[in-house]
Amino acid sequence: MSKRLLQNKVKLHYKLSTNYNNGDPIPDQDIVDVKNFFIDRYDGLSVDSPSEGYWKEDGFVYQDTNLEFSIFIPKTKFDRVVKKEIPKHIEKFKRDFKQLAILCYYHDVVAT
């Protein structure tokens, strides 16, 4: 049994709505396509259960039900390649999911 050493990584998060802005549900196949996109691109993925998000804009409170997609990426790869791709991915998800905004954030971690 080999020991896996701790490595510097980045945990990248995307929160994607389960509904279009008009309230219609996003088809299951579109969610599967996003899962495959991350697995194919980053060799792994975690999906957290639906959560609710709220934000206020122009006096109106918006509500979304979201899935959170999280990926662990080696820090050197993230800094060299992935960080530059994030704006392109956000635009793709905004188009595909017909959203005004996509929540994306990342932070440094140490993991196997």
Q: 62 pLDDT band (50/70/90 cuts)?
A: confident
Q: Is residue 58 part of a domain?
A: yes
pTM over 0.85: yes
Residue at 2 is within a domain:
no
**Which amino acid, 105?**
Y
How many domains, in total, are found in the chain?
A: 1
**Span 28-39, pLDDT tens digits:** 999 999 999 999
CATH code assigned at 25: 3.30.70.120
Tell how far CA 25 is from the center of its chain.
18
3-state secondary structure 52-105: EEEEEECCEEEEEEEEEEEEEEEHHHHHHHHHHHHHHHHHHHHHHCCCCCCEEE
Q: What is the pLDDT of residues 63-112, one digit of tens each?
A: 889 999 999 999 999 999 999 999 999 999 999 999 988 999 999 999 88
Above 70 in pLDDT, residue 1?
Answer: no
